[in-house]
Structure 1
Amino acid sequence: MKREGKLLKNTAILGLGVFFPKLAIFVALPILTAKLSRADYGTYDLIITLVSLVLPLATVQIQSAAFRFLIDIQKNKNEQERLITTIYVFVLATSVICLTIVFLVLGTMQNRIRILLCAYYLFDIVSIVNRQIIRGLLKNVDYAVSAFISGFGQIIFLVLFLYGLNQELGGALAAVTIAEFCSMMYLFIKGRIFTYIKWGKFDYKLLKELLMYSWPMVPNSLAQWVIHTSDRFVITGILGIAANAVYSVAYKIPSILSLAQTTFNMAWQENASISVGDEDASEYYSHMFRVLFDIISGMMSVLIGMTPVLFLIFVQGDYEEAYSQIPILFMGMFFLCLSTFWGGIFVAIKQTKAVGTTTVIAAVVNLTINLILIRVLGLYAASISSVLAYTIMCLIRVYKLNKFIEIHYDLKHIIIVIIILVCQCVMCFKNSIQFNILNVISGLTVCIVLNLGLLKALFKIKFH
C-alpha cells in the first residue's frame, strides 16, 4: 500500500504538471479557431508539429536519460553535477547546430516566423530537459508549477497578441514562445538547476553511457511522431491545409484520454523504476495494469458520453466535419494508453530498444495504411490508420514484455470492457439525442462500476 500511496501522491502532483499545458490547449482552441483562418491555424499546427520532429533528432533523447539516471544517484551531489553538466553541454551544442540548419532550410518563410520558430524550439527543448532533471531530483512540485506557468502563460499571451494587439499567425507563435521561456527560467532559477552546472565536470565517458541508453528512444520518438503527426502532413499534402485544421481539431477531445495516461505514466515510470528489484515486482505490475485499465476505460466511457457537449464548448468556427473522426480516434487513444503503461516498465528495466522497435513497427503500419487509403476514405484513413497502429503496438509490447517479466491479465474482463467501449463509440458517431443520452448514462455507470474498489481504497490511503 505504501507504493500505491506514493504512486497516487506523485500522480496527483505530476497530474497538475500535465493538466495545465493540456488545459491550455483546450482553452486555446476556441481562441485560435475563432481568430485564425483555417489556413493559418493549419500552418500554426504544422509549425508546432515540426518542432516535435526536430527535438529528438537534435538531442538524441538524452533528456530521457536524465530522469532515469538521476533516480539511481539520489543524495550524491557530485554525481548529479557531473550528469546534469554533461547533458547541458550536449543539448546546447546540438541545439545550436540544429537551429542553424532549420533557419537556413526554412528560407522561404518570413524572417519573423523563422526567428520565432527557432526561439520556440530552443526554449522548448531546454524546458523539457529541465523538467526531466527536476523529476530526477524528485522535485515534482516545481515540475507542476513550471507546467502551470507554461499553460497559463500561453492563454494570457494568446489573448494579448491575437486580440489586444490584433496579431495573427506571428502573434500565436510569439505567445507560445514567451510562455515557454517563462517556464524554462522558473525551473532554472527556482529549481536551482544552475547550481548543478559545473562546466569543468563535463564527462565524455558518461555522455557515451547516457547516449547508449537514450539513442533507442530516438527511433521511438520519431516513430511516435510518424504515428501522431505524419497524418497531418499526408492530409495537408493530399487533402489540403484546411483539411489538416479539421483533423487537428478532431484530435483534441480524444487527447484528454492521453492526458490522463501521461499524468499517470510520469509517476508510474518513477515507481516502476524504484520497484524493479522488488521480489513481488511481477504481481505489483499486474495489479497496477488492472488499476490503470479500469481507470482509462472508465474515463474514456465518460468522455465518449460527453463528446457532443465538449465539441460545442471547445470548437468554434466551421469544423463540423471533425466530429465524425472523434469516436474512431478515441479507440486509438485507448490502445496508446495501454501501450504507454508497458513502455514505462520497459524504461524501468532499461530495455528502451524494445520501446523503439515496437513504435517503429506501429509507425510503418500507420503511414502505409494512411497513404493507401487517404485518397479513398479521406480523413477517415488517418483515423483508422492510427487505431490499427496503436493496436498492433499494444499487442507486440505485451508479447515482448512477457520475455522479461510475467504480467497477468484478466482477458474476459478486458474483452467485455472493449466491446462496451466500441458500442459507445458507434452511438457517439450516430450523434442522435437518444444515443447521446444513453451514452452519458452508460458512461457514468461503466466508470463507477469499474473503479468502485479504487474509490473505496482512496478513503483508506494516508499520505506520509
Structure 2
Amino acid sequence: MNRLKKLGWNTFIIGLGSMGSKFMIFLLVPFYTFYLSPAEYGKADILMMTISILLPIVTLSIADGVFRYTMDKVNPKQVFSTGCAILILMTGILILLAPILLQIPMLQNYYLLCSAILLVQAWNALFQQQTRANGKLILYSVSGLLMAVVLFVANLIFLKYGNMGIDGFLYANLVAFSCQAIVLFFGSKLYRLFSFREMNKALLKKMLLYSLPLIPNAILWWVMQVSDRYILTLFLGVAANGLYTVAAKIPSLLSMINTIFFQAWSISAIGDGIKKNDTFFAQVFSIFSCLFFIVTEAILLIVQPLAETLFSAAYQDVWQYVPFLLIAVILSSFSSFLEVSYMAEKKTKQLVITTLKGGVVNIALSFLLIPFIGIIGASIATLIGFLITWLLRMKQTRFFHQMQAKMSFWCSLVILLVQSVYVSFSDVPNMVIQIGFALMLITCQLFLAKKMMRAKNARRLAK
C-alpha cells in the first residue's frame, strides 16, 4: 500500500467513527439552544473551556509523549506505565489543591463536577493516544461514536427530563467521557501494559522533554481559540458569549474534518518518517487545502438558512459571526498540518514561538475590537491570530517554496476572505453573488487539480 492510500485508509477508518460522533455532537447544539438560555450556555461553555486549558497543564501533556514514543517502537509497557505515573501524581496534587481551587468564584458551585471531568478527560486522552499509537483505529473510532451516543442520551435525561440546567450539561459530559475511557481501557486491553515495575525514570525524562513544550503551545493555542470568549464575557456579558459559542459550532464542522485528518496524518508522517521537504508532504497539503476550500464555500452558501433552521429564535442572528470563524478554522488547520513536521522531528520547542506570537496578536485585537464592533470583532481577532501563526510556521519550515500551484491557492484564500466580508456585513446575502464567488473558487481548484495530474503523469514517465 503506497503512502497516499495508507493515509487515505487511516483517514477513512478514523473518520468512520469520528464523523458520526462529531456530527451527533454538532446536532446537540440546537438541543442546547432550546434547553439552555444564552447566559446558561455561555457559562457552561466557559466551564468546559476552563477544563480544556487545565488539561495539558495538570497532565504535562504526557499523552502526546506516550503517542510519540510508542510510535518510536519503545517498549509499550514502559511508555504506558510511565505515562500513568504522571496522571496518578496529578490526581493526588489535584486533591491537595482543592481548598485553593474552591476559592475561585466561577468554580465554587461546580468544583467537584469540573474536577471529576478533568480527571476523566486526562485518563481518556491517555487511553486514546495509546490506542491510536497501537494501530487499533477501529476501536478508537467506535469509542468516539459510543461517547457521542452516550452524551446524547445523557443530555436528554439531565436537561430535557431532569431540567438540571448547567449541572445537567456537566453530568452528561462526565458520563460520556467515562464510558469512552472504560471502553478504550478494556477494549484495547491497556491493563496488560500497566506495571509499577515498568515505570522508567530515564524514559520519563525523554518523554517530558518532548511533551513539556507542548504545554505552553496547547495553552497558547487555546488562548487563540477561546480567550476571546472570556473577553466577550468581560465586555458584553455571558449572553454574548453564548451567542458566539453557538456561532462557533458551525465552523466546528471544519474543525471536525481537521481533527480526523490530523490524527491520520500524524500516524503516517511519524510512522513513515515523512520529512517536510518530501514531495509527498506538498502533495498531501494540496489535497487537504482543496478539501477545506470547497467545504468552506459550501457552508458559506447556506450559512444563513442553516442557522435559522438549526437554532432557536434567540440565536438566529449568529450566522453573521460565522464567516470569519470559518476562515480562522482553515488557517488553524493549515497550522496543524505543519505542526506534524515538528512532532516527527521532535522539535516541539519551536512550536511555542509561532503560537505565542499569534496568541499575543489575537488577545490584543480582541481587547481592541470587541468594545467597538462587538461579537464580530472576536471572530476577526481569532482569524488574524491564526493567520500570523500559520505564516510564521510556513516561514520557519520553508514550506512556501514547496507548495503546488501557489497562485491557485492564494486566489482561493482571497476569494473566501472577500466572500466572508460580504456575508458578514450583509443583511441578507444575495445568492447570485454567492454563486459567483463559488464559481471563481471552483475554477481555481480545477486548475490545481489539473496541475497535480500533470505532476503525477510526469512522475510515472520518470519511472
* TM-score normalised to structure 1 length: 0.90
Residue 123 (structure 1) shift: 1.0
- The Cα offsets for residues 260-299 of structure 1, whole Å up to 9 and x where unpaired, read as 1111111111111133367x95211111111111111111
CA distance in 2, matches of 1:55, 1:103: 19
Quote the residue 1:46 is aligned against.
46
CA contact (8 A) 2:247 2:321 kept: yes
Q: Partner of 1:42: helix, strand, or coil?
A: helix
CA distance in 2, matches of 1:441, 1:140: 41
Q: Which amino acid aligns with 2:54?
A: V
CA distance in 1, matches of 2:218, 2:144: 21
Q: 1:359 pairs with 342, 350, 355, which one?
A: 355
Distance 1:119 1:234, change over 3 A: same
CA distance in 1, matches of 2:152, 2:88: 28
Is the counterpart of residue 247 in structure 1 residue 244 in structure 2?
A: yes
Residue 101 (structure 1) shift: 2.5
Quote the residue 1:460 is aligned against.
none
CA contact (8 A) 2:44 2:166 kept: yes
Quote the residue 1:339 is aligned against.
335
* TM-score normalised to structure 2 length: 0.91
CA distance in 1, matches of 2:143, 2:99: 28
Matches within 5 A, 1:12-31: 12-31=12-31
Quote the residue 1:267 is aligned against.
264
Quote the residue 2:59 is aligned against.
59
Residue 327 (structure 1) shift: 1.1
CA distance in 2, matches of 1:272, 1:340: 13
Is the counterpart of residue 174 in structure 1 residue 181 in structure 2?
A: no
Q: Partner of 1:318: helix, strand, or coil?
A: helix
CA distance in 2, matches of 1:296, 1:356: 25
Residue 228 (structure 1) shift: 0.8
Q: Partner of 2:314: helix, strand, or coil?
A: coil
Is the counterpart of residue 145 in structure 1 residue 142 in structure 2?
A: yes
CA distance in 2, matches of 1:41, 1:413: 41
Q: Which amino acid aligns with 1:413?
A: S
CA distance in 1, matches of 2:297, 2:444: 11
Residue 57 (structure 1) shift: 0.6
Q: Partner of 1:319: helix, strand, or coil?
A: helix
CA contact (8 A) 1:89 1:202 kept: yes
Residue 397 (structure 1) shift: 0.2
CA distance in 1, matches of 2:429, 2:380: 26
CA distance in 1, matches of 2:329, 2:121: 25
Residue 418 (structure 1) shift: 1.4
Gaps of 5+ in 2: 454-463
CA distance in 1, matches of 2:297, 2:379: 19
Is the counterpart of residue 217 in structure 1 residue 210 in structure 2?
A: no
Residue 249 (structure 1) shift: 1.0
Q: Which amino acid aligns with 2:445?
A: L
CA distance in 2, matches of 1:277, 1:450: 26
Distance 1:430 1:59, change over 3 A: same
CA contact (8 A) 2:408 2:444 kept: no
Quote the residue 1:188 is aligned against.
185
- The Cα offsets for residues 108-161 of structure 1, whole Å up to 9 and x where unpaired, read as 568763221111111111111110111111111111011111111111110111
Residue 448 (structure 1) shift: 8.9
Structure 1 vs Structure 2: percent identity of aligned residues? 26
Quote the residue 2:397 is aligned against.
401
Q: 1:428 pairs with 423, 426, 450, which one?
A: 423
Quote the residue 1:96 is aligned against.
92
Gaps of 5+ in 1: 458-464
Quote the residue 2:458 is aligned against.
none
CA contact (8 A) 2:307 2:316 kept: no
Distance 1:100 1:147, change over 3 A: farther
CA distance in 2, matches of 1:9, 1:277: 17
CA contact (8 A) 2:210 2:346 kept: yes
CA distance in 2, matches of 1:241, 1:102: 26
Is the counterpart of residue 71 in structure 1 residue 71 in structure 2?
A: yes
CA contact (8 A) 1:304 1:443 kept: no
Aligned residues: 450
CA distance in 2, matches of 1:25, 1:100: 34
CA distance in 1, matches of 2:247, 2:386: 17
Quote the residue 1:294 is aligned against.
290
Quote the residue 2:460 is aligned against.
none
RMSD over aligned CA atoms reads 2.5
Distance 1:411 1:441, change over 3 A: closer
CA contact (8 A) 2:247 2:318 kept: yes
CA distance in 2, matches of 1:266, 1:50: 24
Q: Which range moves more in the overlay, 17-26 or 317-326?
A: 17-26
CA contact (8 A) 2:127 2:181 kept: yes
CA distance in 1, matches of 2:107, 2:285: 49
Q: Which amino acid aligns with 1:193?
A: L
Quote the residue 2:232 is aligned against.
235
Residue 446 (structure 1) shift: 4.3
Q: Which range moves more in the overlay, 348-357 or 219-228?
A: 348-357
Quote the residue 2:35 is aligned against.
35
Residue 309 (structure 1) shift: 2.8
Distance 1:441 1:406, change over 3 A: closer
Quote the residue 2:82 is aligned against.
86
CA distance in 2, matches of 1:192, 1:304: 44
CA distance in 2, matches of 1:290, 1:36: 41
Distance 1:359 1:379, change over 3 A: same
Quote the residue 2:459 is aligned against.
none
Quote the residue 1:383 is aligned against.
379
CA contact (8 A) 1:235 1:243 kept: yes
